[in-house]
Amino acid sequence: MTTAPLTFDVQLSDHARSAEERERVLASPGFGQHFTDHMISVRWTARDGWHDARLKPYGPLVLDPATAVFHYAQEFFEGLKAYRQGNGSIVTFRPDANAARFNVTARRMAMPELPEETFVRSLELLVQTDRDWVPTTEGHTLYLRPFMIATQAALGVNHPSDEYLYLVIASPAGSYFTGGVKPVHVWLSQDYTRAAPGGTGFAKCGGNYAGAFVAQREAVENGCDQVVWLDAFEHRYVEEMGGMNIFFVYGDRLVTPPLTGTLLPGITRDSILKLAVDLGLEVTERPITTDEWREACESGAMTEAFACGTAAVITPIGRVSGRDGGWTVADGQPGELTLRLREELVGIQYGTRPDPHDWIHKIL
């Protein structure tokens, strides 16, 4: 196996979009609908380890119908963004944390770990090559999607695949939820479960999402925007909101559910915990039930609730509904701390605020 750092073979696209076509996309990018001109691809085999590292034109994959990922969902991903700062620099936010989580997920999925420097290098190379796709509009970003799939063409299920493909694609992104920082109305999922102890809740695998769409659809059918996941045993303890972590605010105290293995350890969640301490807030990681959530809103003790993740940053939660009725969080409007933390985090990412934790990784 090769142990030397991988070097990427660079093959530039001969059909890259023109500046006009690109500007047309960047004027209204949406989220995850348009992709840049290039992608990263690295192969792994049991015999040769990681090899065949390439930057190449963005395009379809050709895979045998028996390929393992299609049948057993041996697949996972990461998500992070490149930001264009006011001085023209292009940066990412905590890519080393994504690299570390990538490998935590890889171990859970019985897939090979990727050296952290190769992960970070792959992002740098793709963003440098497709730098003109990093939006200049405030609040817009280039969303980066590293992922790994099992590529062995065989239907046997007694062992994991002996071949994998690591890929990175990039997509210019407007705001994730249309309509800015509008509070969301959430639906408590009392019938469906996202993750159970010993399962894959902490791993960023596609299978977690495949099982979640039906609950998200139920939320929408009940007039809500997003599903809130509860614990697998009693459906009492709050875990996450859709693909985002969740925070509760009691005056100047912040409460968030602990990382017990069923929650995805969000990098935004971790950053907010650290920023909150910097801002002099008290932070507690402890379980919270839906009964406590309702009672604390009724008594006025809970002043705000919000969800957080890379894609939408911080989103206020305005109202909660479930089978047994619903309640409003405070006055249903975005809370003061919610907006303050959002401004602080976005300010670090766009370089308008100091970066005391060294979270910014400069690419260009």
Ligand X SMILES: *Cc1c(COP(=O)(O)O)cnc(C)c1O
Question: Residue 24 Cβ, how far from ligand X at the closest point, in Å?
Answer: 28
Question: Residue 351 Cβ, how far from ligand X at the closest point, in Å?
Answer: 20
244-270: burial string, b at 16+ Cβ within 10 Å, e else: bbbbbbeeebbbbbebeebbbbbbbbe
- Residue 261 lies near ligand X (rule: CB under 6 A): no
- Residue 267 lies near ligand X (rule: CB under 6 A): yes
Compare residues 122 and 245 and give the one whose CB is closer to ligand X.
245
- Residue 243 lies near ligand X (rule: CB under 6 A): yes
Compare residues 6 and 272 and give the one whose CB is closer to ligand X.
272
In 3D space, the residue among 163, 67, 47 whose CA is nearest the CA of residue 111 turns out to be 163
Compare residues 44 and 202 and give the one whose CB is closer to ligand X.
202
In 3D space, the residue among 317, 319, 337 whose CA is nearest the CA of residue 328 turns out to be 319
CB of 100 within 8 A of CB of 107? no
Q: Count the site residues for ligand X by CB under 6 A.
A: 13
Among positions 190-229, residues that touch ligand X (CB under 6 A) are 204
Question: Residue 272 Cβ, how far from ligand X at the closest point, in Å?
Answer: 9
Candidate ranges 113-121, 132-140, 249-257, 267-275; the one touching ligand X (CB under 6 A): 267-275
- Residue 122 lies near ligand X (rule: CB under 6 A): no
Residue from the set 268, 303, 315, 349 that interacts with ligand X by CB under 6 A? 268
Compare residues 313 and 337 and give the one whose CB is closer to ligand X.
313
Question: Residue 95 Cβ, how far from ligand X at the closest point, in Å?
Answer: 11
Candidate ranges 40-48, 51-59, 63-71, 237-245; the one touching ligand X (CB under 6 A): 237-245
Among positions 291-320, residues that touch ligand X (CB under 6 A) are 309-310
CB of 166 within 8 A of CB of 44? yes
Question: Residue 52 Cβ, how far from ligand X at the closest point, in Å?
Answer: 28
- Residue 349 lies near ligand X (rule: CB under 6 A): no
- Residue 240 lies near ligand X (rule: CB under 6 A): yes
Candidate ranges 114-122, 260-268, 273-281, 332-340; the one touching ligand X (CB under 6 A): 260-268
- Residue 264 lies near ligand X (rule: CB under 6 A): yes
Using alpha carbons only, what angle is made at residue 96 by residues 95 and 98, rounded to the nearest 5 degrees?
65
Question: Residue 311 Cβ, how far from ligand X at the closest point, in Å?
Answer: 7
CB of 108 within 8 A of CB of 202? yes
Compare residues 171 and 310 and give the one whose CB is closer to ligand X.
310
Question: Residue 301 Cβ, how far from ligand X at the closest point, in Å?
Answer: 26
Question: Residue 22 Cβ, how far from ligand X at the closest point, in Å?
Answer: 26
Compare residues 84 and 101 and give the one whose CB is closer to ligand X.
101
Question: Residue 93 Cβ, how far from ligand X at the closest point, in Å?
Answer: 10
Candidate ranges 139-147, 155-163, 181-189, 259-267; the one touching ligand X (CB under 6 A): 259-267
Compare residues 24 and 274 and give the one whose CB is closer to ligand X.
274
- Residue 266 lies near ligand X (rule: CB under 6 A): yes
Chain Cα centroid distance, residue 183 = 19
List of residues contacting ligand X (CB under 6 A)? 79, 204, 240, 243-245, 264, 266-269, 309-310
